[in-house]
Amino acid sequence: MSLDMLKDRLPEYARDLKLNLSSLAVEQLLSPQQKAGSFVAAALAANHAPTTQAVVDAFAAELTPEALNAAKIAASLMAMNNIYYRFVHLVHAADYKTLPARLRMTAMAKPGVDKVDFELWSLVVSAINGCGMCLEAHEKVCREAGLSAEQIQAAVRIAATVHAVARTLAAEEALAPQFAAAA
């Protein structure tokens, strides 16, 4: 499925999402790899098969096999880390903050792309998953590596839009049988 087909599936009330998806697809603040990886990582995190397929179809060609794999690593490891570190952050018992995570995440050390790109994609997924601790950590590394606030914002705008597209389409799919049965 293409990005245009994905946009066509969005209902009229989600016109803003269509427009945002179009403008972000041609975003120039990020490198082509950063932008494509942000889209792919966001789609994987959004957990909606048609959205993921359309985004991967649209952006995988801009990624090397290693970069595509790194975006998958970011989505996979952040799915785990965001839950764990959100727990550590939100529970007020201080002892959790001093305990080692004891979760394997060795793929983060050598994801197959520049560290800043992987950190950006990890930030994208963390934004979708809502882990404040992870957002702070990945944003800091991205800034230290030279990314501007505008570049980081562009990646988070991609995350927000892809997530909204996925949730909107999932809601429409969930409601379709209900409305068909009521008619």
- Catalytic positions are 131, 134
For residue 152 the two structure tokens come to 């980081």
The string of DSSP codes covering the chain is --HHHHHHHS-GGGHHHHHHHHHHHT--SS-HHHHHHHHHHHHHHHT-HHHHHHHHHHHGGGS-HHHHHHHHHHHHHHHHHHHHHHHHHHS--THHHHS------GGGT--SS-HHHHHHHHHHHHHHHT-HHHHHHHHHHHHHTT--HHHHHHHHHHHHHHHHHHHHHHHHHHHHHHHHHH-
